[in-house]
Amino acid sequence: MNKTGYEELALDMLREHSDTIDFYLNKKYCDEKTGGRACEKLYRAEKYSLMAGGKRIRPALVLEVCRIFGGETEAALPFAAAVEMIHTYSLIHDDLPCMDNDDMRRGKPASHVAFGEDYALLAGDGLLTDAFYECAMNPFVSGDCAALAAGILSKAAGSYGMVKGQAMDMYGEDNRISLEELVELYAGKTGALICVAAQLGAFAAGVPADDEKMKDVTAFAQRIGLVFQIIDDILDVTSTAEELGKNPGKDRENHKTTFMSFYDIPKAMDFARSNTCEAVKIMEKYSGSEKLCALAEYLCNRKK
C-alpha cells in the first residue's frame, strides 16, 4: 500500500472510533459522575486527563478487532473505555515527580501540574479502579466473558504486565540491562495493554479464548506493541517538544536503557518495519482487516 493510502485509512479509522469512544467516555463515565463540592476536584482531574485529546489507539483497536470478527460496537465499548482509562492512569502516574517527572502531556500541563500531586495520584487510582467496573459490568456480554475480560485486563495491567514493565524501566535507568530484558520490559510496559486491547475486541465479538482468531490478533498486537515502543524511542531522540506534545530527550536524561542503547536509527527502523510486515501478514487474511493493517503501517511511520 502506498504511504498516502494507509495513512488515510488509518486516520479515518482512528477518527471514527475516537468519536465513538469520546462520546461514550463523556456520557457514560464523566457526566454520570456527580458529587458534592468535596469530590468535584477529583472528578475534574479524572476528566481532564481522560479527555485530553489522546489518539485513542488502544480503544480503537478494541472496536476495530470486534468489527472485523463480526461483533457489535456496543459490546466492545465498555472494554474500550476500560483500556483507555487504564492507559490514562498509567500516563498520570508515570508523569509524577517521583517517576518520570514530566510536566507536559499531550501538549498540556501534566495532571500533577494542573491539580497537584495528591489529586494526580488519586485521579490515577480512580481511573484504574473504575476501569474494572466498566469491564466487569459490561452488560452486552455473558458473565463468563466479562469475568475473563476483567481477568486478562488486570493481568495485562498489573504486576505481570504494565506495572512490571514500569519497574523494569526504573531498573534500566540505573543499571545496564540486556536486549532480552528490554524486550521483556517493553512487552510489559507498552505491549501488554495493546495486546489485551486486541484480545478484548475479539472477546466482545464472541471469539473464544482458544480460537485461532484469538491467537492471530494476539500475535498481531504483540508485534505492533513492540513497534510502538521502538518508534517512541526513536522519536524521543529525533523530535521536538512541539511535535511530540511532551518533552523529548527524557530517556537519555534519565539514563534509561532503550532500543537506542543497542541500535542506531536505521537499524531500529528496519526492526520496526520487519515486525510491522509480520503483523500485517498475520491479519490480512481476514476480510475487512484493511484498516487494522493500515493502522500497523501508520504506527510504524508515525511522527509523534
Binding-site member from 128, 192, 260, 293 for a copy of itself (CB under 8 A): 128
Which DSSP string corresponds to 72-117?
-HHHHHHHHHHHHHHHHHHHHHHHSTTTT---EETTEE-HHHHH-H
Residues near a copy of itself (CB under 8 A), total: 63
Minimum distance from CB of 196 to a copy of itself (Å)? 12
Burial category of 109 from C-beta neighbours within 10 Å (exposed 0-12, middle 13-18, buried 19 and up): middle
Cα–Cα distance between 54 and 52 in angstroms, integer?
A: 6
The residues, ordered by sequence, that sit 6+ positions from 215 with a Cβ below 8 Å of its Cβ are none
Query: What is the footprint of a copy of itself within residues 73-102 (CB under 8 A)?
Result: 93, 96, 98-99
Tell me if 170 contacts a copy of itself by CB under 8 A: yes
Q: Find how far residue 216's CA is from the centre of its chain.
A: 19
Cα–Cα distance between 64 and 201 in angstroms, integer?
A: 7
Considering only 55-63, 110-118, 194-202, 284-292, which stretch makes contact with a copy of itself by CB under 8 A? Answer: 110-118
Closest to a copy of itself by CB, 214 or 296: 214
Cα–Cα distance between 100 and 98 in angstroms, integer?
A: 7
Query: What is the footprint of a copy of itself within residues 9-38 (CB under 8 A)?
Result: 33, 35-38
Tell me if 206 contacts a copy of itself by CB under 8 A: no
The residues, ordered by sequence, that sit 6+ positions from 289 with a Cβ below 8 Å of its Cβ are 68, 283
At position 79, the amino acid (one-letter code) is F
- Show the site string, 129-168: x = touches a copy of itself by CB under 8 A, - = not: xxxxx-xxx----xxxxxxx-xx-xxx-xxxx-xxx-xxx
Tell me if 183 contacts a copy of itself by CB under 8 A: no
Binding-site member from 118, 211, 243, 253 for a copy of itself (CB under 8 A): 118
Cα–Cα distance between 25 and 82 in angstroms, integer?
A: 10
Tell me if 68 contacts a copy of itself by CB under 8 A: no
What is the contact surface with a copy of itself in residues (CB under 8 A)?
33, 35-39, 41-43, 46, 93, 96, 98-99, 116-119, 121-122, 124-133, 135-137, 142-148, 150-151, 153-155, 157-160, 162-164, 166-168, 170-172, 175, 177, 181, 184-185
